[in-house]
Structure 1
Amino acid sequence: MENLNKNLKYLRIRKRLSQTRLSHRIGIGASSISAYEKRRSTPKISSLLKYSKYFNRKLEELVNEDISLSDQIKQQDTKGDQLRVLPILVDSKNEEMISLVPVKAAAGYLNGYSDAEFISELPNFRMPFSELSENKTYRAFQIEGDSMLPVPAGSYIICEYVQDWEHIKDDSCCIVLTADDGIVYKRIKKDFSNNQLLLNSDNSEYLSFEVSLNQVLEVWKSLGFVSFNLPDAPQK
């Protein structure tokens, strides 16, 4: 367990959390967190399970591995030089179609995003907008929740596929497909030095969070949205 205290401190700092803020989030006293990190105390299994759940790390990783080292070894290919499978559908004129991922298909998309048969079963269409180029790949995702207000729940986000993640501009809105959280729509900040993306909501009631690049499966840059929730008439 010689790496345990180092791992606990590394994971906290990587999420930019003080010991007090982490205490509030996982329900362990700040003094105990300090003692764990300084190796003055060894956490009980119940505390380790709280760390494991919050940071999405296996107990074996927390106890036996040097997580900071293993994260560097597993550094993600941000430029997209390695093969990424992206199935697309074309019409009778060999022109690329836009696939739509509605909310009800979101869970299936996590497993079928690289499956050509699954993509072919989604609604596929073309959009006659001059803002969309013929030589790029687009997809539309329906979003849930109000974390990105004023874009309302149920909106359809029209996106462009991003092969090279280094081209993502900080604070741009993107659809990110992650292995743990599925489809999320957030503002992105790159933190490649720590092998992660920072995901921020426009609704201040929602906390920002980090996702390891090793958990990221796809990134789609948001171009616009379609909504059938028209605003209410202004009050007189």
Structure 2
Amino acid sequence: MSQIGNNIKKLRSVKGLSQQAFADLFGLTRGNISSYEERRAEPKIEVMLQVAKYFSIPIAELLEKQLTVNEILNFEDYFPSDPLTIETGTLAKIPFLDRDYFRHYDGSAASLDSRPSIYLPLDSNNKFLAIENSSFIPHPVGFAFEEHMILFFEQVRVDILHTLGDHFGYFGGDTPFFGRYDLAGKEIGLVLNDWKKEVYTAETAPHFWKLFGKFERVM
């Protein structure tokens, strides 16, 4: 059975596209996309080829395979996504929070263990987190990262507190946001703006992350 309808729906979800926005990319109607996703119809072969080319996905996989988040984000050539193949312990398993996670965020954060994962060769015992940058996450002035860019964060521990000054970070508590760390005496805060700031304490420590790196697709 063709997976084209499921994959179009997954593509839209990962890329943050409405049915109308997806349809506009390929000269279709919202009704066309709805019928594909509900398996009431399948796109013409020329449309399938356009979708595969646009998202850099092999046509056979678009038709026959249920695509993963890693494959859609074009990580698959570099980072293994199947945990059964990872036996050496040399790759870090990193929970991934996409735009839909924040689109439907209600203040009750789900366990990171339940999220899809990205695997990277990181020589560290620290915890890491991958986040798709989107308009659903507030950020400070000067946060020069593009929409859909994948940002990697390292969980803040006591022994790296002195390195935080003026670095970007992520707060994953009741109201998630990107901010810039500010060190004032013994107080460490992650600042969004003049009205929003979270102070690092022993109780809130698990919610603080320091920007580690980024993944940016080169077109």
So what's the TM-score if we normalise by structure 1? 0.43
So what's the TM-score if we normalise by structure 2? 0.45
